[in-house]
Structure 1
């Protein structure tokens, strides 16, 4: 599927660049990148691997599972480095997208447009909002919601007809008082989802983006796998981390470190993890018709812990457990062999 998109995209990019700039004005590195991409795509297809920020990348590469391409180990595009190689003997292209929904969607779309990709594996760390789970656990959700589309209403405002949930800020006043608050209310809206399988330029109303079913079934085989328990020789978790498949996750451009909001998300949306990118990666992949899965290690309690957030302490461990789960998941995937 992806190979059909690659040639027209590159040809269009080439023609536009010639119309806008003389050939002498196009940087040499851009020409080299286009040549490299063309050569790589002839040898495709590839799995797409996407993390967010350096600690997740470090945890992935420290495993040694990713073997760089001997001639073309990376391609630099738009400020991002797309690394080319193999994982478990299967061809893969990896990129660190950067924090937030915009970065996640942009990097995913660029990967799908430029390279011959068969599917996307997104992984990293997340906050835990489910009291039945623990730091160090790995979650592979079945659904993701973008919980960052808000209608911020007046104190006496009413929910819009499109809103799917409601947060009354006044109900969190301390002391309680009469419950009124000038910040009013927040109404949560669903996404507008555009898909190549739908009518062009016509959005579908979407709250829950579904992870690809057959990949989720493959991931279910990972339950019970051994995960790391210790940060170092002197700091270990009280219990063995576990891997759970089939829960719900939420994403927004919000780093959640607030117990009240954490509980609201769990009660209202029944999500178990929160992050700032996954929903964007999932929606972009599905919009383009590609399979996608998300694997996140739980690094903190999203404000549910007393004192300081523990992401700096347990983040590397959570990232390593997520990376290990990715490696085991890739083993289960058919095809993509070198």
Structure 2
């Protein structure tokens, strides 16, 4: 009897309905802006938006350009950008990263309003300050990974140390690359007509989208013509900002595909008069948002 009872109970248990497995959270594209004007420009095109607040940071979940995204502010400068990007990767199922924002133009061929989609980024102020001697400045030790980069006075460029998901070997790098597949989409997507005029100001020429080249980032608002020339000559830089290389660094460490769109609000010291950022950052923000939205529409699922 006990044996039969045990079998009956066992059969009864087999007949119980098991709870359904929890569905995997839908992966999203992290779309990042550095400060509010850039963020607001992107929100205009978002639909189905909901909000989560984590450590005081607002994360907007919704659809942009037909793709599921989580949109948030990095905050200005390198530490803020690295911190908020890692926070997003830890809290949301992110499949790729897209940065949208304004920047300073370094390449003399570029002008305010142009949007640059650089294929690689460096942290240009990762450096050693050399000791002054009778023969000039001497760095404390040689960094072979950056030996081809000329110094600027006492400032000697250095590589930055990093480990990566799936490869714990400590390595040193100067450049962090944008994702090749995402760059290919940016090159092949339909042309985007950029804004030439804001409410009260117009640019001299119609802005363009340039895909390729080098970007550099550092925790400095750079507005110096001499140093601008140095960055163009030494890093072959087209564009400069205060966040993107930090985001590229975090993306590389987490093995997450990354790309950045930066619209020029000023020329980082090469402006014909005073720095133009205050006058043109609203227009530049809109132009970057236009290109990012078009890119998301063109991006395959």
TM-score interval, normalised by the smaller of the two chains:
0.7 to 0.9
Across the aligned residues of Structure 1 and Structure 2, the Cα RMSD in angstroms comes to: 1.6
Cα–Cα, structure 1 residues 239 and 222, in superposed 2: closer, same or farther, change >3 Å?
A: farther
2:124 is the counterpart of 1:142: no
Q: Distance in 2 between matches of 1:222 and 1:130?
A: 24
Q: Distance in 1 between matches of 2:289 and 2:251?
A: 20
2:221 is the counterpart of 1:255: yes
**For 1:1-338, what aligned pairs fall within 5 Å after superposition?**
42-61=24-43, 64-69=44-49, 73-156=50-133, 157-159=137-139, 160-162=141-143, 163-164=146-147, 165-169=149-153, 185-198=154-167, 200=168, 202-222=169-189, 224-232=191-199, 234-335=200-301
Q: Distance in 1 between matches of 2:128 and 2:40?
A: 38
Mind listing any 5+ residue stretches in structure 2 that lack a counterpart?
1-21
**1:247-286 Cα shifts (integer Å, max 9, x gaps):** 1100011111000011100011100100010001111012
Q: Distance in 2 between matches of 1:224 and 1:93?
A: 25
Q: Distance in 1 between matches of 2:262 and 2:35?
A: 13
Which consecutive aligned stretches of 4+ in structure 1 deviate over 6 angstroms post-superposition? none
Structure with higher helix content? 1
1:166 deviates by 3.5
Structure with higher strand content? 2
Q: Distance in 2 between matches of 1:147 and 1:131?
A: 19
CA contact (8 A) 2:105 2:264 kept: yes
Q: Distance in 1 between matches of 2:98 and 2:126?
A: 25
For this pair of structures, how many residues does the alignment match? 273
CA contact (8 A) 1:166 1:186 kept: no
1:43 deviates by 4.2
Match of 1:15 in 2: none
Equivalent residue of 1:231, what SS?
coil
> Which structure would you say has the larger Rg?
2
**1:181-236 Cα shifts (integer Å, max 9, x gaps):** xxxx11110111210132x2x3211111111000000000247421111012x421
Mind listing any 5+ residue stretches in structure 1 that lack a counterpart?
1-38, 170-184
